[in-house]
Amino acid sequence: MDIATFRRVFVVREEGVTKISTKNHRPRCFLNDQDHCSVYSVRPKQCRTYPDWPELWENPHLLQAEIARCPGLRKAVEGFDQKL
Ligand code: SF4
């Protein structure tokens, strides 16, 4: 698939931000029926680096909101607490 086709089919702009999934645009993104990413080996940089984003760890309010939203991050953070 060429980039132009990918952008037309999978990408939307919302509030000035380019997104491949939103509440109203492919809300399950590339998750398959088993909740696994079907493009895992070629997933976007944001997915490969999540949650190691400085803007997330440098903002306690944003971090708490993300922990509340993401079960995987919540589980990881609870694991940190048990190791401390
Ligand atoms: S890892 Fe990234 S590309 Fe894959 S389903 Fe999740 S958000 Fe979408």
pLDDT, tens digit (0-9, with 9 covering 90-100), for 33-42: 999 999 999 9
The rounded Å distance from CA 82 to ligand 1 centre is 28
Report d(CA 16, CA 18) in Å as an integer: 7
- Is residue 53 lining ligand 1, measured as CB closer than 6 Å? no
Residues 44, 37: contact at Cβ < 8 Å? no
Q: Please, is 55 exposed, middle or buried when counting C-beta atoms within 10 Å of its C-beta (0-12, 13-18, 19+)?
A: exposed
Report d(CA 44, CA 31) in Å as an integer: 14
Helix (H) or strand (E) holding 67, with range, is: helix 60-69
pLDDT (0 to 100) of residue 69: 92
- Stretches where the chain sits below pLDDT 70 are 84
pLDDT (0 to 100) of residue 34: 95
pLDDT (0 to 100) of residue 47: 94
- Is residue 39 lining ligand 1, measured as CB closer than 6 Å? yes
- Is residue 70 lining ligand 1, measured as CB closer than 6 Å? no
